[in-house]
């Protein structure tokens, strides 16, 4: 997977969707669910992503702090997503998301995780 420009929530969704497909799952399916699509509208999906948990008690992200956001820890395979508590995302990888794209998602979070 090549580096993608990540400036909107839709860019994040596209990168995560591509990763799921790259790992052999049909679009819209993943072992843990596609939490980045929770909601019936794009606005609901965005709100659920920036304020919700992917795993109960583990917020997906902290606006303004990409490096310490659970989505970034999970994509990088860092604790608790290093196999000690949870597996690296995606479950069943490799392949994993390439570092430039993870860094771009982290920068998006650092910049405030804007929807548009």
pLDDT for 65 equals: 98
DSSP H helical ranges for the chain: 9-22, 42-51, 70-76, 99-110
Full pLDDT tens readout for the chain, 116 residues: 445 689 999 999 999 999 988 888 777 777 777 899 999 999 999 999 999 998 999 999 999 999 999 999 999 999 999 999 999 998 888 999 999 999 999 999 999 999 99
What are the Cα distances from residue 116, in Å, to 8, 43, 106?
Answer: 5, 10, 16
pLDDT for 1 equals: 42
pTM: 0.91
Taking alpha carbons only, the member of 97, 76, 95 closest to residue 86 is 76
pLDDT for 3 equals: 52
Cβ atoms 95, 23 nearer than 8 A? yes
Rounded-to-integer distance, Cα 105 and Cα 101, Å = 6
């Amino acid at each position: 997977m090549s580096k993608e420009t990540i400036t909107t929530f839709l860019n994040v969704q596209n990168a995560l969707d591509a990763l799921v497909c790259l790992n052999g799952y049909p679009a819209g399916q993943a072992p843990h669910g596609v939490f980045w699509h929770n909601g019936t509208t794009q606005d609901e999906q965005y709100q659920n992503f920036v304020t919700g948990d992917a795993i109960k008690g583990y917020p997906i992200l902290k606006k303004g702090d990409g490096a310490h956001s659970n989505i970034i820890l999970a994509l990088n395979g860092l604790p608790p997503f290093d196999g000690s508590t949870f597996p690296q995302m995606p479950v069943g990888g490799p392949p994993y998301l390439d570092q430039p794209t993870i860094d771009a998602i982290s920068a998006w979070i650092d910049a405030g995780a804007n929807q548009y």
